[in-house]
Amino acid sequence: MADRLKMDGHHDNNLVNIFRMFSRHHDNNERDVLTLNVLLLGNRQSGRSSVGNALIGGHEFRTGTSIAGVSMTTDYQVLSRNFPGHFRRQGVESDLTLRVIDTPPLLPRPSTLGALCPEGVHVVVLVVRADQLHENTHLEECMETIFGPGWRDHAFLVITHSDHLKKAGLHPSSYLMKATDWLGALASEVVGGVSFLDNSCDWPLIRGRPLRDRLLRLSARNHHRAMRFRTLI
Q: Running along the chain, 233 residues long, what does each successive block of 10 average in pLDDT?
A: 47 49 46 93 87 89 58 76 89 92 81 89 94 73 89 95 79 78 88 87 70 95 94 54
The predicted structure's pLDDT at residue 24 = 41
The predicted structure's pLDDT at residue 189 = 93
The predicted structure's pLDDT at residue 58 = 85
Q: Tell me: the pLDDT tens digits for 38-84? A: 999 988 888 898 899 999 988 888 776 544 444 455 688 999 999 99
The predicted structure's pLDDT at residue 134 = 66
* N-term to C-term CA, the chain: 79
Say how many residues make up the chain.
233
The predicted structure's pLDDT at residue 29 = 57
- Which strands make up the sheet holding 77-89, listed edge to edge? 77-89, 92-102, 32-42, 123-129, 155-160, 194-196
* Alpha-carbon distances, residue 163 vs 86, 140, 157, 168, 198 (angstroms): 29, 25, 17, 9, 5
The predicted structure's pLDDT at residue 64 = 61
Question: Who contacts 29 (Cβ-Cβ below 8 Å, separation ≥6)?
Answer: none
Average pLDDT, the chain: 80
Strands 77-89 and 92-102: antiparallel
User: What is the Cα Rg of the chain in Å?
Assistant: 24
The predicted structure's pLDDT at residue 27 = 45
Name which of 46, 188, 58 is nearest 126 in CA terms: 46
Question: Who contacts 176 (Cβ-Cβ below 8 Å, separation ≥6)?
Answer: 183, 184, 187, 194
The predicted structure's pLDDT at residue 92 = 86
pTM: 0.79
Question: Who contacts 91 (Cβ-Cβ below 8 Å, separation ≥6)?
Answer: none
The predicted structure's pLDDT at residue 8 = 47
